[in-house]
Structure 1
Amino acid sequence: MKTDVAIIGAGPAGLLLGHSLRKAGINAVVLEHRSAERVLSRIRAGILEQVSVSLMDELGLGERMHAEGLPHDGFLLADGERNIRIDLKGLTGQSVMVYGQTELTKDLMDAAPERGLDIIYEAEGVELHDVNSDSPYVTYTKGGKEERLDARFIAGCDGFHGPSRKAFPKDFGVEHEKVYPFGWLGILADVPPCNEELIYASHENGFALASMRSKTRSRYYIQIPLTETLEDWPDDKLWDELAVRLGPEAAANITRGPAIEKSIAPLRSFVFDQLRYGSLFLAGDAAHVVPPTGAKGLNLASSDVAYLSRALIQHFKNGDDSGIDSYSETALARIWKSERFSWSLTMLMHRFPDAGGFDRRMQVAELDYIAQSKAAQTSIAENYIGLPL
C-alpha cells in the first residue's frame, strides 16, 4: 500500500492531521495499534483553546462541539482564603471551550469515512524504516499478516511511548524532562459540577481541581504522592478530601456519586528538541508532554498539526518546502512557551514534599500579586486561552 503521508497514531493529533491533509486532497493513512473502542475509552483533557476550536471549524467538524460544549469565560484560583477569578473574556476578549477529548476524537473518527481518511486499527508491531530518505516506509502486522505502507512522509503522532521518536538517531536531538514528585488522582462521575467555572485550588493538603465534561458530568482531581494507589482512595475518602481542599463554598455545592472512572496520572514536563529528521516529523505527545495544570496537552497537539499540515500542503500543492524546513523551529517556539506556563502554574498551585517555608511564602506572595494585579491576571489569561500561532 502507498500513500502521501503515513500517520502513526489515531489520537487527536493524528486524526486532526489526517483530516487536514484529506481536506486539501492529499492522501493519508493512519495506523493505530489499539482498537477503535480502546482509543475512545481513554478519559483525557477537556479544555479547548481557540486554536483547537478553530481547527475543528475549519475541518467542518465543529457542529456537535458548539452544540454540546460549554464556553467558559473565566476560571478560579483558590488558596483557602479567597477565590481569584481570572476573567478570560474581559481580559482577552476570548474564551475557552469545555469539550472532552474523547468527544472530539469521536467526531474525528466518525467523519473519517466520508472524508476518505483510512484508519487502520490494531496495527501491531509498527516499525519505521528509511526515515532519512525520500521514500520512507512503515511495516506492521494486521490480523497476523505482515503489511507495508510506503509514503513520502511519516508523521509520528503516537504519544510519548510510541515508536516514532525512537526512530530518530540516538545522537540527534536532546530530551529535556522534569518529573514532578506527585501525581493526580482523578474521578469522573455523572454528577453536576460544583461550580460553573473551573476551580484550581492550593491547599495545605495539596492541589485540587474541580472541572467538568458537561452540565451533568464532573471531573475532579487531587494531588497525591506517587507511592499511593487507587486502593488507598475509596470514593468516600476522595469526596471528603475534595471538600476540604476546594473550600467550604465549593464543598457546599459538591454532588457526590459513584465513579465512572478513577485513575492516577504522574506529572512530567518533557520536550524533545528536534521535531523533524529527514522525512519523519513528530507532533503531539510524541514530541512534548506538559503537566495537565495548564490544559495544554491537546491544544499543543492542535498547534503542531496547524503548522505541520500547512507545511505538508505547501509541499504537495506548490512544491514549497519552506514550511517543512522551518516546522521544528516554529513549533518548538510555541511549545516552550506553553511548557513554561504549565510549569509555572504547577509550581504555584502544588505542595512539594521538599519545599520549605521560603518556597511556600513565595507561592503566597505570587497569589497575592495575582489577586491585586490586572497585568498578572492578563498574562495568565493570555496564556490560558492559548498564544497565537
Structure 2
Amino acid sequence: MDRRVLFASLVLFAGGVTGVSVALFAFVGVDDGATDAEVVWESDPVAGDDGSGAVVSTMDGDPLVLQSITENDTRSVRATAVGGGVEWTAPVDAGTGGGASEAPEDADSTATSGLVTGTLDGDRVVAFTTESGSLVVRDAADGSERFAVDIGGQSGIRPAMGDVDDDGDIEVVAVSTSGVVRAVDGGGEPVFERDVGAPIERRPLALDFGGNGSDGENGSDAESARSGVAVVTADGDERTVRLLDAGGDTQWTTTPSVTPLNWRQADSQNGPVLALGGTNGNLETIEVSDGSTRYEFGLQDLPVAVGDAGPGRVYVGGSGSIWAVSLLDGEVSWKQQYGGDTRVNAPSLGAIDGGDERAPVAINREGDLLVLNRNGGVTARGSVDAVVYASPLFADATGDGSDEILVVTEAGRLVAVDTN
C-alpha cells in the first residue's frame, strides 16, 4: 500500500437515541512509513490461559506477568518475570474462603476469573474469584495468600480494586452471578455487602475519582458522587446499571440503550462517566453523578469494545477499526482502519517511547499490532503470528528503562514487542 493519509469530513448520526450526535472527524489511512515492530522476548505457551485474564504487576521496577493457568492438572496462578523465567506458581485451593459450600454441586471450586492487580497497605497484590464463590487476594511478590473470603454465591467474575469509600485506602470488590456485591478492605474485613436482586454478568467497576460526598451545589450525594461501585445486572433481556455508595446503598439506577459487551470508567472536564461498548456497535456514556446518558453514538453495526481513556478521549475497537471518541460529546476525533474486518480488541494506552505521553496501541484477533499517535497516525506495526483475545499490556522487557508492548496470546504465550 502506498503511503497515504486520507482526510474525510463525515457526518455521523446515531439514530433512535436521546439527542443526535454529529461528528466531524478524520479518517486516517495506514501509513507505510511506520516502524516495523520487533519481537524481543517470548515465553513458552501455557495451558489454561487465553490471555484475557492476565495482568502485569511491577515491584521495584521489576515487572511480573500474572496468569491463571493449569499445570499438572492443577489450577494455579503463575508469575513470570518479563524477559525471564517463572518466579512462582501458587495452586488455587479448592476450599479457599469457604465458597465451595455455597455454590451449586456442579461448580468448579478451582476455576478462576480474570486477575486484577493493585496495592493494598503498600504491598502489590493480585486478586481473583473462583467459580464456587471465593474472593482470593495474594501477594504479587511471592504468591502467598493474603486473605480469602466467601462472596456469598457462585462467581468467577473478575473483581475490581479502588478507593470506593474515599477514605484514602484501596478496597477490593467482588460480585456473585446471583447479584451479591461485596467490598472488603486491605485485610479482607467487610466494607459492605449488598444483594441487588438480579444476576450480574459483567465485572464490577470500583469508582475511584475522589471527592465523594456532599460537595455539589445542591449538597446531594448523588449529584456529587465520584466514588462507589457500579454494577450491571440482567433481568431477562433488560440490562440495568446501578451505582452503590460506600455503604452499599443504591444511589441511582438506569436502563442503558445498549447491551454492554464491556464497560470502562473514565473522567472528563464535565465529570466522570461510565463508557459502555454495545453489542449493536454503539458507544454510550452514562454520568456517574446521576445515571443520565451523556450521549449514545453509533460507530458501526457490529459489537465494539471500550478500551483505555486518555485526556478527553476514550479509545474503542470494533470490526477492523479503532476510534478515538470525545468523552464530552461523543464526537469522533479520528478513525483508523486495519484494512480488514477482523475484530480489534479493546485498545490500551502505554508510554512505550520512554516519555510521559501515552500512545494508543491496538491488536486484533489475528495478532496484528498497531501503535498510533494522538492524531490517529500509525507510528509502528507488527504481528505476533497468533490468535489474541487480550488487550495489549506494557512492561520493560529489555531493561532499557522504557516499556515494550506485551501481548498474551490465546495459547498463554507471552510476547514482548519493541517499537523503537
- TM-score class normalised by the smaller sequence: under 0.3
TM-score (norm 1): 0.24
- The structure whose RCO (Cα within 8 Å, separation 6+) is larger is 1
* Greater fraction helix: 1
Structure that is richer in strand per residue: 2
